[in-house]
Amino acid sequence: MRDGVRVEPGTTVDLGDYPPDGTLGLDDKEKAQAATQRLGERLAELGALLAANHDRSLLVVIQGMDASGKDGTVRHCIAPLNPMAVRVTSFKAPSSMELAHDFLWRVHTACPARGEVGIFNRSHYEDVLIVRVDELVPEDVWSRRYDAINAFERNLVDEGTVVVKLWLNMSKEEQAVQMRERLATPMKNWKFNADDLEKRKKWDEYMEAYRVMLERTSTEWAPWHVVPADRKWVRNLVVSELLVDALASLDMDWPTLDGKIRKMKIV
């Protein structure tokens, strides 16, 4: 399944190769949900191992259009982890203090410490997405940021952070369904923002910005994964599998106490 969503570094990206309603060969919702639950149990164990060893970290970058399921992905796929070792950051419009620094300054300070899992619900990639589409800075500024991002993530990986990047690929039709539900459901009203409709009008521009983002920043050290997001049960299984694979790749064992400490008597 992982191979079906990974964007191979150095390749030309055609979004048509990644259908938002794809099932990646999954044909049974109940079985997929059961598999997701089993993966959650494994993720909890691996997260505990990560915290116990305290020498590596995991950064999960989640991008997607409005209503693509970023919050739901965090809620369903990250929930098995011990919340004491998880930090979720959502990057909004930069403050005056943040604008006084380079665009990655606020991002670096939010990266996970050793033994922790960091979740970016929107991320530094907004600086080559909304900044590009809404023309918030000149092209000669945002166009340089792809290389800066690649170098930044390479440094994180070299220092011991595993980076998992997820683009939740939702169709325009499904976005309309989710937005209508937000308007119709009192408990979801707070999620609706009229500005989301303005972004929706620029759907094609955003898709091109995402395509270039995937093409320019899917690297060997931090590849992108295009997750079909029209079906939540497919999304949850794919993301859970990617997170388990990322932590399992660290080949961690439970730390053992020094022999002298283990012989200490507790009275």
pLDDT, tens digit, 9 for 90 and up, residues 77-96: 999 999 999 999 999 889 99
Single pTM value for the model: 0.94
Pairing of strands 224-228, 161-169: parallel
Q: Closest by alpha carbon to 118, among 62, 55, 175, 201? A: 62
Phi and psi at residue 50, in whole multiples of 5°? -60, -45
209-243 pLDDT, tens digit per residue, is 999 999 999 999 999 999 999 999 999 999 999 99
Distance, in Å, from the CA atom of 44 to the CA atom of 32, rounded to the nearest integer, reads 18
Predicted confidence at residue 139, as pLDDT, reads 97
Neighbours of 108 (CB within 10 A): 13
Mean local confidence (pLDDT), 29-52: 97
Neighbours of 82 (CB within 10 A): 12
Predicted confidence at residue 1, as pLDDT, reads 63
Predicted confidence at residue 193, as pLDDT, reads 84
Per domain, the residue ranges of the chain are 2-249
Distance, in Å, from the CA atom of 42 to the CA atom of 65, rounded to the nearest integer, reads 29
240-261 pLDDT, tens digit per residue, is 999 999 999 999 999 988 878 7
Return the CATH fold of 2-249: Rossmann fold (3.40.50)
Q: What is the mean pLDDT of the chain?
A: 95
Question: C-alpha distances in angstroms, 33 versus 112, 113, 234, 236, 240?
Answer: 29, 31, 8, 8, 11
Distance, in Å, from the CA atom of 245 to the CA atom of 42, rounded to the nearest integer, reads 10
Percent of residues, the chain, with pLDDT higher than 70: 99
Spell out where the chain has E strands. Answer: 57-64, 86-89, 117-121, 161-169, 224-228
Predicted confidence at residue 116, as pLDDT, reads 98
**Residue 209 in contact with residue 131, Cβ under 8 Å?**
no
**Residue 57 in contact with residue 162, Cβ under 8 Å?**
yes
142-198 pLDDT, tens digit per residue, is 999 999 999 999 999 999 999 999 999 999 999 999 999 999 999 999 988 888 898
Predicted confidence at residue 2, as pLDDT, reads 62
